[in-house]
Amino acid sequence: MTAAPPPDLLAAFEAAKGFMPLDEGLALYAAAVEAGRLGLPLLEVGTYCGRSTLLLADAARRSGVTAVTVDHHRGSEEQQPGWDYHDPGTVDPELGVMDTLPAFRRTLHRAGLEEHVVALVGRSPQVAALWNTPLGLVFVDGGHTDEHAGADYEGWVPHLAPGGLLLIHDVFPEPEDEFTGQAPYRVYLRALASGAFEEVSATDSLRVLRRTRAADRGRG
């Protein structure tokens, strides 16, 4: 049976700043609960203000695992001042640069889920280079350039355990549907082409893939 978030969690998700629509959130939650059964950490690239992290945190709580979320908290290209996805409320008034860490911490605290999350503040490839623990889930929702999305794939997917789930957000096969580029779509194609994944589900722009075996060296 597909797991659904409890009402208080759904309310917290809807109240949190972020970009994920409800139907994708429900799919993310169900996948995270399923992946949690592997007993391994659930990893997110792209914390922003914690909207999706809440769902991973509660799924982690249910399985007794930890959700790990990585972000430098300075925002992606399309979230900078002057761009479509900019929110002036995310700018540190003293420094004049984006800082989504305070909003993230408030989101998690209000939902009572802080103890189920480890937040890593830094650049995804730099953090991934230090990582050496198998993961039950990798959720790629960080930078949308080929450089960033590709580095997220290369940095984190090697740690995904067999049977673990790879989730990719903002997968748009049609270029006209996406303002921020098609790098996540290319990462999705790359995962399928590696031969190491089978597709589990597609909900709007969220793809869920299951690792069926270790990737061939250099291909995955």
Q: Using an 8 Å Cβ cutoff, are 51 and 21 in contact?
A: no
Structure tokens at 179: 């303002």
Give least dist CB 18 to ligand SAM, A: 3
Identified catalytic residue from 72, 73, 144, 148: 144
Give least dist CB 23 to ligand SAM, A: 13
Nearer Cβ to ligand SAM (56/196): 56
Binding positions for ligand SAM, 110-169, rule CB under 6 A: 123-124, 141-143, 148
Q: How far is CA 201 from the centre of its chain?
A: 16
Give least dist CB 76 to ligand SAM, A: 4
Binding residues for ligand SAM, rule CB under 6 A, total 22
Binding positions for ligand SAM, 51-90, rule CB under 6 A: 51-52, 70-76
- 190-195's contacts with Cβ under 8 Å and 24+ in sequence apart are 190/150, 190/153, 191/153, 191/157, 191/166, 191/220, 193/219, 194/219, 194/220, 195/219
Minimal CB distance residue for ligand SAM: 18
d(CA 206, CA 3): 17
d(CA 150, CA 171): 13
The DSSP symbol for 214 reads P
Give least dist CB 111 to ligand SAM, A: 14
| Residue 144 annotated to the active site | yes
Task: Give start and end residues of each alpha helix (H) in the chain.
Answer: 7-15, 22-36, 51-63, 101-110, 124-128, 146-156, 183-193
Q: Directed axis angle between helix 146-156 and helix 183-193, to 10°?
A: 40
Residue from the set 5, 9, 13, 18 that interacts with ligand SAM by CB under 6 A: 18
**Closest residue by Cα to residue 159 from 179, 139, 142, 180:** 139
- Sole window of 44-52, 157-165, 201-209, 211-219 interacting with ligand SAM (rule: CB under 6 A): 44-52
Please provide the size of the chain in residues.
220
Nearer Cβ to ligand SAM (54/65): 54
User: Would you count residue 100 as binding ligand SAM (CB under 6 A)?
Assistant: yes
- Sole window of 16-24, 105-113, 193-201, 211-219 interacting with ligand SAM (rule: CB under 6 A): 16-24
Annotated catalytic residues are 144
Question: What is the binding site for ligand SAM (CB under 6 A)?
Answer: 18-20, 46-48, 51-52, 70-76, 100, 123-124, 141-143, 148
